[in-house]
Amino acid sequence: MNILYVCHRFPFPPKRGGKIRPFNMIRHLSANGHQVTVCSLARSPGEAAEGKGIAPYCARFEVAQVSNPVQALRMIARLPLSTPSSMGFFYSPSLRQRVRQLLSTQQWDLIFVHCSSVAQYVEHVRDVPKILDFGDMDSQKWLEYANHKPFPLSLGYRLEGTKMLAAEKRLARLFDLCTATTRAEWETLEGYRTGVPTDWFPNGVDAEFFSPTDDGYDPDTLSFIGRMDYYPNQECMARFCAQIWPLLKSRRPQLKLLIVGADPSPEMRRLGELPGVTVTGSVPDVRPFVRKSALMVAPLNIARGTQNKILEAMAMGVPVVTSRVAAGGVDAESVTHFLVADTPEEYSGAILRVLDDPAERQRLAIAGRQRMLSNHAWPHSMERLDQIIDRCITNFWESKGRLA
């Protein structure tokens, strides 16, 4: 098949959540003989240059470079409109022109869009089967932000969430099938009752790259992994250090916490002034930091979809203690494969349970990795994707009165 694939972040190198899922789809489709043309955005010359590495995984790629100041103006311009500002952030006249040229000069068997914010480039197409992979339902994320941000920022996020919710429902009706990353996100999508078929397929993890080693771990080290310019990561670690870290230090004064992730804000860097806390900033490879730790914490209070950091730690055989809301994006069972907590006391108890009992740590390490191998392997997820694509194309042409 000739597939036009549009995504909101250029999917190479696949080093962050918004790039990992589309990259694995593109790689899979190309490996199965499909001709995939990738269209996306880059926000710097460096990102555009790095993105050229996707060439072996697709037939062709189109990258439109944008600058954040210009995109911010496009967001502001949409404030008085019903269009979500997010659509402005991911809009590029250059990319729109390239997509239109591709549509007018080639025949396509499928259009696949990852992320609702770039559905705008192909929403008008009617003669090609189209799938919209929402991944996470962004409207729900903005609405959740409103509950955590101070006034008047909370009003802005609530407005954006409300506008995005309307846009998600409108866009879903313009596609032939819509998907999400987790069962919970799919249930939200189904709740829109758009009349359009829906499904879901999970994120996977590269269990060979993220694998255990024979190196020992430090029984007094915890880790947290994630970009530190991302608000949910900032919010949860600020709260963790204020409410949970003192409880842990009172029980284990020698305990250390590694906060590993790119672009920490000044507030996040100040967490490194706390006893035992290190804020690393960007590192070339997060795996040594995770493997060194006795466990990884993922105490996110705002979490939509799947937290790849959890999958990766479990695949490396490192136990995870996470929030109930973040656990909902992982196909694993609390207590059996990882530990779930909500209150500071619950977090402290769960973490100390692992730190104080090497046998319990070993049990969770083995069970967690096995669960990743069985339930979050990319080949299994891509089998689901293949079935979804077949279903979409068959239904599309049956509705036109003929099969492709």
Domain of residue 90, residue span:
2-204+378-399
Residues 177, 244: one domain?
no
143 is a domain residue: yes
Residues 259, 174: one domain?
no
Position 403 scores a pLDDT of 53
Position 402 scores a pLDDT of 62
Sequence-ordered strand ranges (E) for 210-309: 218-225, 256-260, 277-281, 293-298
404 is a domain residue: no
Residues 173, 270: one domain?
no
Residues 299, 328: one domain?
yes
Q: What angle do CA 260, 262, 263 make, to 5 degrees?
A: 125
82 is a domain residue: yes
Low-confidence ranges of the chain (pLDDT < 50): 404
Rounded Cα distance between 375 and 356, Å, is 29
pTM > 0.85: yes
Rounded Cα distance between 38 and 3, Å, is 9
Residues 167, 142: one domain?
yes
Position 404 scores a pLDDT of 45
Query: If you write DSSP's letter for every residue of 294-357 in order, what string do you get?
Result: EEEEE--SS--S--HHHHHHHHTT--EEEEHHHHTTSSS-BTTTBEEE-SHHHHHHHHHHHHT-
209 is a domain residue: no
Position 150 scores a pLDDT of 87
Position 149 scores a pLDDT of 86
Estimate to the nearest angstrom the gap between the alpha carbon of 74 and the chain centroid: 24
Residues 349, 222: one domain?
yes
Residues 175, 70: one domain?
yes
Residues 352, 383: one domain?
no
Kindly state the helix (H) or strand (E) to which residue 160 belongs, with its residue range: helix 153-172
Position 36 scores a pLDDT of 98
Contact between residue 289 and residue 260 where contact means Cβ atoms under 8 Å apart: yes
Residue 54, burial from CB neighbour count under 10 angstroms (0-12, 13-18, 19+):
buried
Residues 95, 147: one domain?
yes
Q: Which CATH number does the domain housing residue 85 bear?
A: 3.40.50.2000
Give the total number of structural domains in the chain.
2
Residues 72, 85: one domain?
yes
Tell me: the pLDDT tens digits for 269-284? 999 999 999 999 999 9
Tell me: the pLDDT tens digits for 23-35? 999 999 999 999 9
Residues 247, 158: one domain?
no
Position 38 scores a pLDDT of 98
